[in-house]
Amino acid sequence: MRAVRMTAPGVLEQVEIPTPTAGPGEVLLRVGAVGACHSDLHILDAPAGTFPTPMTLGHEIAGTVDQVGAGVAGWSPGDRAAVYGIIGCGHCRACLRGLENQCRTVPVGGIGLSRDGGLAEHVVVPASRLLHVGDMDLTQAAPLTDAGLTPYHAIEQARPELRPGTYCVVIGIGGLGHMAVQILIATTAVRIIAVDTNVAALDLATRLGAHKVVKAGPDTVDKIRAIVGPPPDGADVVLDFVGADPTITTARQVVAPGGQVMLVGLAGGTLPVRPVADQPPTIPLEATARVPFWGTRAELQEVIALGRLGMLQADVQTFPLERTPEAYELLRRGEIHGRAVIVP
Ligand code: NAD
Ligand code: ZN
Ligand code: ZN
């Protein structure tokens, strides 16, 4: 079968490899669609040894069951499914509570992160990772598994602060951010301020229902404060889907006392926390910062429900497998709007 693999750090190649078979407890999926996540670029850019090579990339997968391994119940060839990408140990304190994204045994990993992912004609996954998607278009189902699930989980964690009429700043209206705007609209009554450097991303945010948009630049903080009010007032929640120093600085400068900063983006910025009274504070008193990771299986089921209800729809740009490198190049240059989805 054809597969797009990271063959060495930074090297992406389309290769021909044997089609895998489903072992006990596993399912062979014919891949219908795979989202191109910005994290794949971080994986490609990571130093040697951080991720296994060769490894087929792609952790945002939907497909059709082709083959079921021994002992698999509840799945048959022809079933359509989305893949929950995390594989926790299943036994630690976190996994037992359904928080496989906090597994205390298995380091950050999963399908397309620590084992072969979905950028191929087929992928083998544990049957326990599959969720039914019904007759949903697979190019819509795939982005739900990360671009949908990750913001949904962050929003769940921030939910106590997301009171009706409060302000939520969403920084980075890309694959994750444009889903976040829709999830906020579907599940809260907050006022959404969308922030991006890219005007097309802001247009998408407006089309999706964001209440205000701010073009990021040297005056981002002033522009947001003009909407939410000057300190000590501020935004109740800031979702940062970039995670670079400038966006983290914006987040901590516009969040209200007692507010929540969700650092989802992995661009390598730092959040200083200095809880002393005789120097300018780095983050308001009582504010919380979290580093959410992906989400839980139960949350993915809810995200799929939102998708099937038509309340969460990725803005999708599709590419055939052969054009995967081009899709990632466009993503790196900030020229993908919404989500790039590969159809193998
Ligand atoms: P993306 O490239 O689709 O979107 C990023 C958006 O941010 C783009 O619209 C871009 O124009 C905008 N942007 C870039 N720099 C900016 C700046 N300085 N100010 C304002 N906007 C800016 O990326 P994505 O796939 O949505 O992923 C976003 C980030 O989230 C990545 O770092 C990715 O690795 C990370 N991520 C984290 C998790 C997690 O579990 N924590 C899961 C998935 C992705
Ligand atoms: Zn991802
Ligand atoms: Zn575990």
Domain boundaries, the chain: 2-135+314-343, 149-290
Percent of residues in the chain assigned helix, strand, coil, to nearest 5: 30, 25, 40
| ipTM summary value | 0.99
User: Which ligand places an atom closest to the C-alpha of 264?
Assistant: 1
39, 45, 245: residue to mutate for ligand 1 pocket, most atoms within 8 A of CB: 39
Provide the H-helix boundaries in 11-110. Answer: 38-45, 93-96
Region 322-328: mean pLDDT is 98
- The pLDDT of residue 63: 98
Q: What is the DSSP letter of 100?
A: G
Flag whether pLDDT at 276 surpasses 80. no
* Fold (CATH) for 149-290: Rossmann fold (3.40.50)
The enclosing H or E element of 110 equals none
- The pLDDT of residue 210: 98
**Domain 2-135+314-343 classified CATH 3.40.309.10?**
no
Query: 95-108, pLDDT tens digit by residue?
Result: 999 999 999 998 87
User: Which ligand places an atom closest to the C-alpha of 91?
Assistant: 3
Say how many Å lie between the CA of residue 69 and the centre of ligand 3: 23
The enclosing H or E element of 250 equals helix 245-254
Query: 142-185, pLDDT tens digit by residue?
Result: 999 999 999 999 999 999 999 999 999 999 999 999 999 999 99
The enclosing H or E element of 12 equals strand 11-16
Query: 20-71, pLDDT tens digit by residue?
Result: 999 999 999 999 999 999 999 999 999 999 999 999 999 999 999 999 999 9
Flag whether pLDDT at 274 surpasses 90. no
Say how many Å lie between the CA of residue 231 and the centre of ligand 2: 34
34, 37, 150: residue to mutate for ligand 1 pocket, most atoms within 8 A of CB: 37
Band the pLDDT of 198: cuts 50, 70, 90. Answer: very high
- The pLDDT of residue 64: 98
